[in-house]
Amino acid sequence: MNREEAPDTAWVGALAGVSSRSASRAVREAQGEEELFRHLAGEHRRGGRSFYVEIEAPLELFALTRLLRPRHVVEVGVSSGVSSAYLLQALDRNARGTLHSVDLPQRQRPGAPAPRASWTLPPGRSTGWAVPESLKGRWDLRIGDKAKVLPLLAEELPRVDLFLYDVPHADPSAFREFVTIDRRFHRGSVAIVDHGGTHELCPSLRRWATRRGATARGRTNLGLFGFRCR
């Protein structure tokens, strides 16, 4: 697991709707979560993965969660649980809120060598395998296809304050799934999507943003986009 070197404080401030001073404070707090970083890095080593496909901006997720103080966070795409762990750590610091995560795991083939870059589960591990046990009290982890689980969450939850979509998606599915969950968004809800190596917002989510009246803000140097709902 790599240490995040240059978190984008301005991105955090714009999405959370706070001053640069507040955003800097929250990002500094995230950088101070050394024990969590060491735990995750150690778990990845023990899982035989020196490099794993994971969110590249976990510090911003922590900072946003501290600033927004969400009741309900929804995350799609868990894998070993780097994003989940930073979200859960911030909820724990807030002493409120629940993380609802959805994942359809893919497994490393038995007997196959550990792939260099992958999100497949190593043998004997399950979704979220790196997340510290002590943080699981605020975690509602649902195993299943996002196409099936997101509509259920949209039915069940009274609101969604923060939404992270870190999962491969074909264009039509992203639009459909954002529309499904966004009826629980409110003014100030924040949605984040990870486009990996592609540094451009996909046409489907551009269409969603126009429909919703939300402006996309790109995280510097990464294929991550955030929206703050009006």
3-state SS class at 30: helix
Binding mask 37-76 for ligand SAM (x = CB under 6 A): ----------------xxx--------------------x
Query: Based on CB atoms, which residue is closest to ligand SAM, 148 or 230?
Result: 148
Query: Based on CB atoms, which residue is closest to ligand SAM, 18 or 195?
Result: 195
> What are the two backbone dihedrals, phi and then psi, of residue 161, each rounded to the nearest 5 degrees?
-95, -30
Burial class of 6 by CB neighbour count within 10 A (0 to 12, 13 to 18, 19+): exposed
In the complex, the smallest distance separating the C-beta of residue 83 from ligand SAM, rounded to whole angstroms, is 3
In the complex, the smallest distance separating the C-beta of residue 127 from ligand SAM, rounded to whole angstroms, is 7
Query: Which residues, in sequence order, are bridge partners of residue 218?
Result: 225
- Within positions 73 to 132, which residues make up the interface with ligand SAM, using CB under 6 A? 76-83, 102-106, 119
Sole binder of ligand SAM in the list 35, 145, 156, 171 (CB under 6 A): 145
DSSP classification of residue 74: E
Query: Based on CB atoms, which residue is closest to ligand SAM, 48 or 168?
Result: 168
In the complex, the smallest distance separating the C-beta of residue 7 from ligand SAM, rounded to whole angstroms, is 15
What per-residue string of b and e applies to 92-103 under the rule 16 or more CB within 10 Å gives b? Answer: bebeebbbbbbb
Query: Tokens representing 143?
Result: 């195993």
125: left (phi over 0), alpha (psi -120 to 50) or beta: beta
DSSP classification of residue 121: B
Name the site residues for ligand SAM (rule: CB under 6 A).
Answer: 53-55, 76-83, 102-106, 119, 145-146, 166-168
